[in-house]
Structure 1
Amino acid sequence: MSNILYSIFPSENFIDLGLYQYGWEQCDPAHSFGPAARNHYLFHYVISGTGTLTAHNSKKESITYNIKSGQGFMIFPHQICTYIADNELPWEYTWLEFDGLKAKELIEASGFSVNSPVYRPRHKDLARQMMEEMVYIANHSQESPFHLIGHLYLFLDYLNKSNSSPLQSQGNRMRDFYIREAMAFIEQNFQNDISVEDIAAFCNLNRSYFGKIFHDTVGKSPQEFLISYRMSKAGELLKMTSLSIADVGNAVGYPNQLHFSRAFKNVYGVSPRAWRYEQQGNPEKDV
């Protein structure tokens, strides 16, 4: 039997939360990875054995953590880190790399930060259910993307319940309510001519205060989130329908096709037309 399982998630059509790669490994003694940085969130759960994680904190200082079976560690996007299996008792771990518009909010609600990346569960039974979800995903790469995303949500639910404290949850409750209200408003009105002022007014908040709590929670400004959400929806329409570029732009809140094409290219790096051809397996030079 191989000592590693590794899979790449086949779909990019999940906006709120999506997988990138996942797996399981029984590491060789002193097996290491890094120093390197990831583009997304990467969580490891240690099933057995021990090892070390060295990661940059918020001050760019390298901090080393000893991590053993029953614990885990979260690597943040663009955080430089190195992790090494013990020479005598190398770890066996399972991992998930994921991201999405709501990932930052969920990770912070679970008690993680670049200054606190180690998972030390408060509830062992929930931690075991979380591990089982991770191992299930690692062993079922042949299942549909929707099936695997469903288990990703279950993993995150167990991660949050097993690691977050009641006081932490209570302190974030009101802020999270406003963010959910704002996201619901965006999801229902992204195709209309809405502004950050409109979103803040819907939540009955001062624009400045709303912008701060939104950025602190989501990791993007409300305007950046709105544009990202619109462009994600535009990508779905370009890939899944035969609508014209103008009709796609109009459907996501850009009645001016030129403005839509510029916004799309700022996010994806190519024009909507070139992106559609690439997704259909026919790369087109973007002139």
Structure 2
Amino acid sequence: MQMKENGVGFDFCAFTDFDNSAEVRLYEIGSYACEPEYSYGPIIRSRGIIHYVLSGKGKLRIGDKTHNIHGNQIFFIPSGVSAYYEADSDDPWVYKWLHIGGTEFLALLTEVGLSENSPVLDVPSPNNRSWDFNSAINEIFENYEREYYCIGKIYEIMDFLRKEYGHIDKASAESQQLQYVRTVIKYIQLKFSEQITMENIAGVCGLNRSYLSRLFHDATGYTIKGYLQTYRMQTAQKMLRESDLSISYIGNAVGYVDIFTFSKAFKKHTGCTPSSYRENGSAALAN
């Protein structure tokens, strides 16, 4: 769904709702050439949002900290955080925004240092570079109806941010913690069809179960159990949409020993039974 307004509210907004992947999600994009002193908030969002300031100036306030921001900078507002931002009175900013999420993307933001306490990041100049951050953002906006194309561009942005700002010292405590988070994600993606437990996962990382759970939640916003459940359900939905395999087979393929347990978990996650989902597709989720 696309909306445009001139002079009021925003210049462009598209609700993409790309959430097929648990690793990288894109819910909405938009752009706005703000009026002087245009403000938004205080507001608490259920999803993180990134603003890319193309030009002009403004300020962001999170908690008791105010950050002065100018062109060619990113500012990130995490979910669950009260934030207020306002355009400069003389040189109001022009920005693009992306409502974005996913375990890998949120972990990457932690790695490059974007957080509630440090929400601002400079975007390197494209001079003498073979890859341009601004061009990647523009391509997302120009192709916002193409889900896989847009998600692919976000992975390019992630790779760029990691190269520019990622921690080089792999022995550092923060870097090691993020490695544990990625180990959990990769282990689940490999073993989700098996009867894995928290003890299995903690054992792979060699960490205490409660400590690992806290690391994972802080980096991704998911519990480990919640991520495993989400990954299984998304895989099951894809199989129901794209194959004629039996529901019992699909349940077993995503780690459930019997059809009753699978159907109960599926309905709790999606709001409909596997058979209803197969018959009605995404329409079943809206009922």
Confirm or deny a common fold (TM above 0.5). yes
Instruction: Check the 8 A contact 2:56/2:93 in 1, yes or no.
Output: yes
Letter in 1 for 2:142: N
Deviation at 1:64, TM superposition (A): 2.8
Instruction: Check the 8 A contact 2:73/2:121 in 1, yes or no.
Output: yes
Aligned to 2:257: 255
> For residues 277 and 37 of structure 1, what CA distance do their matches in structure 2 show?
37
For residues 38 and 240 of structure 1, do their structure 2 counterparts lie closer, same or farther at Cα, with a shift above 3 Å needed? farther
* More moved, 187-196 vs 233-242: 233-242
* More moved, 158-167 vs 238-247: 158-167
Aligned to 2:133: 130
Instruction: Check the 8 A contact 1:129/1:158 in 2, yes or no.
Output: no
Q: Which runs of 5+ in 1 are unaligned?
A: 56-60
> For residues 22 and 216 of structure 1, what CA distance do their matches in structure 2 show?
25
> For residues 262 and 46 of structure 1, what CA distance do their matches in structure 2 show?
45
Instruction: Check the 8 A contact 1:74/1:117 in 2, yes or no.
Output: yes
Aligned to 2:55: 48
Instruction: Check the 8 A contact 1:41/1:97 in 2, yes or no.
Output: yes
What is the RMSD computed on CA atoms of the aligned residues? 2.9
Indicate whether 1:227 and 2:229 are aligned.
yes
Aligned to 2:85: 83
Query: Could you report, residue by residue, the CA deviation over 1:40-83 in whole angstroms, capped at 9, with x for unpaired residues?
Result: 2211111111112222xxxxx34332211122210111222222
Q: Which runs of 5+ in 2 are unaligned?
A: none
Aligned to 1:139: 142
Instruction: Check the 8 A contact 1:44/1:94 in 2, yes or no.
Output: yes
Instruction: Check the 8 A contact 1:94/1:135 in 2, yes or no.
Output: no
For residues 36 and 185 of structure 1, do their structure 2 counterparts lie closer, same or farther at Cα, with a shift above 3 Å needed? same
1:27-66 aligned within 5 A: 27-55=34-62, 61-66=63-68
Aligned to 1:215: 217
The number of equivalent residue pairs is 278
1:130-169 aligned within 5 A: 130-142=133-145, 144-164=146-166, 166=168
Identity %: 31
> For residues 34 and 171 of structure 2, what CA distance do their matches in structure 1 show?
35
Query: Could you report, residue by residue, the CA deviation over 1:233-261 in whole angstroms, capped at 9, with x for unpaired residues?
Result: 12222332333433322221112222223
> For residues 244 and 284 of structure 1, what CA distance do their matches in structure 2 show?
24
